Amino acid sequence: MTKPRFRADHVGSLLRPAPIAAARAQKADPATLRAAEDAAIPLLIAMQEEVGLKVVTDGEARRAFWHFDFLGLLDGMEMRTREEGVQFHGTKIPPVRPVITGPLGFPADHPMLEHFRFVKDHTTACAKISIPGPSVLHYRTDPEDVLPAEYRDPDALTHAIAATYKAAVEAYYAAGCRYLQLDDIYFAYLGDPAQRALKQAQGYDPDALITRYAWMINEAIKDRPADMTIAMHMCRGNFRSTYAASGGYDAAADAIFNQTDVDIYFMEYDNERSGSLDPLRLLPKGDKRVMAGFITTKTPELEPVDAICRKIEEASRFAPLDQLGIAPQCGFASTEEGNAISPQDQRRKLELVVKVAQTVWGEA
């Protein structure tokens, strides 16, 4: 069986179309909002097809957050408003926090299954959906917000998270999904001394967390069918063109590349905050592929094609060129607020992704 593989791709989120943003701002009723989403998302899909991408998403246009919308709809989870949101560079995200209130599970009627089916029904390209990975549930839930007594045992909690995601993988496959992306960004966060100190203050060993997170994602995906591609996205935060962490992949590289059965790695590499390319040397020879995030979504300026090609050539000194591809470093709108770019800038960035792929590999 053939797994979906591409040279040009993107992380998933896109700027929210004006009709959707307006409906949300006006606090439209669910039916009105759904109508706006159903009308606008096919246009987002068409845009991706027009620029030459062979894999498309719904731009996460039905979500407010890239992660909390999904997590809040799991069994045993609630989103609660707090006084302060998570700190980013110079700003904070809206003050929503996950709380584990009961037994964790993936419901058979999770709304994002239908979100995927909508994309699949409106494209002839490969439909992909991005969901927050297992590490997100654990990392973003403060220890005091783990309410069930049985989950105070770290092993019991991480086993429950892994089982929840295993059920999710099975459900998406049954819905026709052959390309599922898990945004497990905290592998990258744990290369930041400040984030490591934060977790130590909560009683965690950061390196043990990396190993545990690798186990969770691998446990969730290890029994997937042979024709299903699993991707992992890693970054250091993306809210209104700002970031939350800095640091290279060195601490996590062996875990992500060699302790997980992930097929595709989306790795942020748009500036010095991402560290060196040296961790790519740990990518095992074979079918695994790194989508190098040399193109930023945080600013509108277009990177020169020849400069990106030189970066890919440099990366190929650490990992085989045939095991590389190109993508933006993150989404364009990890939250509904979006980054400080225009829809035209967004399209040009995606066109650049395709152009670089065709220049380097002769295909998208």
Q: What does pTM read for this prediction?
A: 0.94
pLDDT the model gives residue 242: 75
Nearest to 18 by CA among 3, 38, 40: 40
pLDDT digits (tens, 9 = 90+) for 275-315: 899 999 999 999 999 999 999 999 999 999 999 999 999 99
For residue 111, is pLDDT > 50? yes
Give pLDDT tens digits for 125-136.
999 999 999 999
Q: Give the mean model confidence (pLDDT) for residues 20-45.
A: 96
**Cα radius of gyration rounded to whole Å, the chain:** 19
Q: Identify the bridge partners of residue 8 per DSSP, sorted by sequence position.
A: 326
Query: What's the CATH number of domain 18-361, 3.40.640.10, 3.40.50.300, 3.20.20.210, 1.10.3720.10?
Result: 3.20.20.210
CA 197 to chain centre: 24
- Tell me how far apart the alpha carbons of residues 356 and 327 are, in angstroms, rounded to a whole number: 9
DSSP H helical ranges for 51-107? 68-71
Report pLDDT digits (tens) over 209-260.
999 999 999 999 999 999 999 999 998 877 766 766 788 999 999 999 999 9
> Residue 271 has what pLDDT?
83
State percent of the chain over pLDDT 90.
86
**Is the predicted pLDDT of residue 84 greater than 70, yes or no?**
no
The per-residue DSSP string of 288-312 comes to -EEEEEEE-SSS-PPPPHHHHHHHH
- Residues above pLDDT 70, as percent of the chain: 95
Domain boundary assignment for the chain: 18-361
pLDDT band at 87 (very low <50, low <70, confident <90, very high): very low
Per DSSP, the three-state class of 25 is helix
pLDDT of 36 higher than 50: yes
Query: 3-state SS of 161-195?
Result: HHHHHHHHHHHHHHCCCCEEEEECCHHHHCCCHHH
Q: Is the pLDDT reported for residue 89 higher than 60?
A: no
Backbone conformation region of residue 131, classed left if phi is above 0, alpha if psi is from -120 to 50, else beta: beta
